Structure formats: C-alpha cells, structure tokens
Amino acid sequence: MSNVFLVSLSFAGASEAWGKSALLSFAEGHATIHLNKEKPLFQQVQSAARRLDGMGLERIQLIGELWDMELRWAFSQGFYNAKKGANIDFGELQAAQLKQLTAQKEIIEWVRATINLGPEALPPVLLCEKAVTLIESVLPAGVTISANIIAGESLLAENFQGIYQVGRGSERPPCMLQLDFNPTGDADAPIEYALVGKGITFDSGGYSLKPSGSMAIMKSDMGGAATLTGALALAIANGLTKRVKLYLCCAENLISGDAYKLGDVITYKNGVTVEVLNSDAEGRLVLADGLIAAQEDNAKIIIDAATLTGAAKMAVGRDYNCVLSMDEQLVALATTCAKQENEFIWRLPFEEFHLQQINSSFADIANIHSGEGMAGASTAAAFLAKFVVNPKANWVHFDLSGSYQMGDNGLWSAGGKGHGVRTISKMLFA
C-alpha cells in the first residue's frame, strides 16, 4: 500500500510556506486541500485534483470526515485523465453510498472513454452496440431491454433519409439504434421520455471540408449519443422506474464518390424537404430522423442532445452546455437539475422568429440559416423544430458545448468530460 497517496480536506488555511491562500499543502505521502468557505467547494476540490493528477500519482485514497458524496465526486472528476482514468479509493462510506458513487464513476468514465476513442476504433454500428452493452450492464434483476440497430440500406427501407444521406459517403454503414427500457412490464406503457442523440463518429465536414485543426477533434462529434446513453444508464442504476426510449442517430460524415453534396434535397419521412447548403451542418440532418421516430412512438417528452454548433461554443466556451426550448417548464427543470448536480448550463435564445431564418428557394427549409448575423445555435434548433409537431411543448434541445475539452485546464483533463450526463439523468426522474 506504499504507493497510495492520502488526501484530506481542511477549512484551515495552509501554512504561508506553501504560498498565500494556497489550495494545497503536503506532508510525506499526504496532501491537504485547504477549502475557502466563501468560494464554491466543488470547484476547489476538482481544481486541487487536477493539480494532483499532474504529479503522476498512481493511486489516491480520500481520508477524513469532511468528504461528502459531492466532494468525493468532484475529486474523481478532476483526477481523471484519458490515459489512466482515475484510480481512487473513495474512503469510508456506507455500502449503499459507495455502490452509488462507484456506478456513477464507471458510467461517466464510459462516456469519457467512448468520446475519446479514435474514429477508426468506433464506427457507427459499434457505437450502438457499445451503448446496448452499457445499458445491459446496469439493468436490475428481471428487467430486460429491446434494442434494434437499423443500418445501411435498411435505413432506406424505414425511410430514415437524413442518417442514410449523411453516412452514405463512408464504407462503414450509418445506423439508428432504437433501445427501449421498459421496467413496467406493460408493453402498452407510455414512453415517458425519448432521448435522441447525435452520433457522428467522425465529421470531416463532407464537401464543406473542415480545416485540419477543426477536424482533429471530430472524433468527439458523437458526444450527444454518448451523453444520453450515460444519462439513461445512470438513471437506471439509480432506480429509474419509467419507460424511456433511446434513439442514437449515427454516421461518419466523409467524402467519397457516393457522399451527399451541396444542393441535394432530402425528403424526410414526415414530408419536410431540406436543401443541403452546407454538408458540415450534418448533425441536424441525422437528429431529424430520431425526432420523427420518437414521435411515431408517441413519447411524452423528447430530450435531444448533440455537439451541434460552433456558435454555442463561441457563446459559452467549453464550461457550459447550452439549452434551447420554448417549453419554460423544461428549461426550468434542466436548470434546476444542473444546479443540483453541480453541472453548468446556459439558456440560449430560441423564439418563433428563428423558424423563419432557415428558408430555401428549392425546398421547405435549408440546413443552415440564410442571411448575415443569424444566431447559429438558435437556427440549428429552429431546423430541429421543423421535425417536432408541437415545438413549443415537451421538447428540449441540448447543444453540448461542454462535453469535450480540447486541452487541459484548471478543472478538466483533455478529452471527453461527461458533463451533462448527471443533469439529463436527473431530469428523467421528474
């Protein structure tokens, strides 16, 4: 056990030898995090864990009486990095608390690790299969799921045109996962929530080709699919008893002789026609199919999540996820859940007039906004709204600006963050 490094908490200040208002002090094999009650405790602990991760420590054990569940979780988030995970002994906990914290850690580290996989290691069908495996691993005794992966030409048979058109340029087939978690045992039970996730396992931009710097991180463009899978898994682990259906809309957006092109018009299952003006605005094209499928199944509430726009990242950076909806109750629910789970979301504007800013001369709508100075995240939501029968109620859209970190900072390691999983999972219990 000599390689175990001990970490405790204190509300007393550090000796001035460690610097003015030092966050950390050290003794042999032991660090103390010195907390300031006037500042957010969660962020202080996460920041301290990042610093300790930078020391190359192999294993941490949390000791002392000041560690509550949230502060233990904060440390786990900060100590994680993509190469080694987070090897932490959470310390003395009741068995039920340890089980809950361990399940949360395993699920969210699955999300982070899956986002971090390179595109060669994660084709669309494999992403769907991995999602099924994760959900199966957390099912309570006696509960099963049904899962259907619709891939390749079968998408055309089901008339899911958006996923098919975006993914047809790749040799690895696009697909949709429809996973039904129904713990009620009643085949006619209503679907309380539909979760619709963008699963673009690599986004070159298509013929609207991205520059190398922007393309290099596009393994993370399936962050919506991973986040929603993790959210459902975490809810199940925490005792969810509602019927929820998960729809993952997965494809590689590549260039080839068979890739879709600018000027193409896609006719969707609901009759809406879309002119493709930018093949790098592909996420909304695949999500449209998932929204249609969710409504065919009469889901009561729809939550979609996607790494959808650069505009959202420009607005809030990578510390926040963005929420867009005309349903005030759902926005309030998302905001409350995020606060309770120590995650950050920010509401971006989404109004009826945005629906008029995606006009096309050759189809019902275009897949990007028309004119100058338009709000990119808001008009992306407006595009999705065209595939929701009543976009003013029972639908909320997450633009996941905070799901991936390009480089280390004071709170997060580089790569997938799992940020948003807890918020959406919490919403499923409302």
* pLDDT 10s digits, 129-141: 999 999 999 999 9
Q: What is the pLDDT of residues 215-228, one digit of tens each?
A: 999 999 999 999 99
Q: Is the pLDDT of residue 1 over 50?
A: no
Report yes or no: 220 and 403 within 8 Å, Cβ to Cβ.
yes
pLDDT at position 87, please? 96
Per the annotation, the verdict on 210 as an active-site residue is: yes
Q: Is the pLDDT of residue 372 over 70?
A: no
Per the annotation, the verdict on 130 as an active-site residue is: no
Stretch (H or E) spanning 283: helix 283-296
CA distance 279 to 415: 25
Mean pLDDT across the stretch 154-168? 98
pLDDT at position 374, please? 80
CA distance 224 to 383: 17
Q: What is the pLDDT of residues 301-356, one digit of tens each?
A: 999 999 999 999 999 999 999 999 999 999 999 999 999 999 999 999 999 999 99
Q: What is the pLDDT of residues 321-331, one digit of tens each?
A: 999 999 999 99
Query: What is the domain partition of the chain in residue ranges?
Result: 4-93, 110-427
Band (370; pLDDT cuts 50, 70, 90): confident
Band (2; pLDDT cuts 50, 70, 90): low
pLDDT at position 328, please? 98
CA distances from 93 to 41, 89, 147, 238 (A): 20, 10, 36, 17
Q: Which of 343, 339, 313, 342 is nearest to 404 (CA)?
A: 313
What are 7's two structure tokens?
A: 């970490």
CA distance 427 to 430: 5
Q: What is the pLDDT of residues 172-184, one digit of tens each?
A: 999 999 999 999 9
pTM over 0.75: yes
Report yes or no: 203 and 221 within 8 Å, Cβ to Cβ.
yes
- Angle at which helix 124-137 crosses helix 223-237, to 10 degrees, equals 10
Mean pLDDT across the stretch 33-49? 97
pLDDT at position 327, please? 98
Kindly report the CATH class assigned to 4-93. Answer: alpha beta
Superfamily name with CATH number, domain 110-427: Zn peptidases (3.40.630.10)
Mean model confidence pLDDT for the chain: 97
Q: What is the pLDDT of residues 381-421, one digit of tens each?
A: 999 999 999 999 999 999 999 999 999 999 999 999 999 99
Q: How many CA atoms lie within 13 A of 319 on its CB side?
A: 7
User: Pairing mode, if any, of strands 24-27 and 404-405?
Assistant: unpaired
Q: Which of 130, 210, 269, 347 is flagged as catalytic? A: 210
Q: Which of 219, 284, 313, 422 is flagged as catalytic? A: 284
Q: What are phi and psi of 261, to 5 degrees?
A: -130, 160
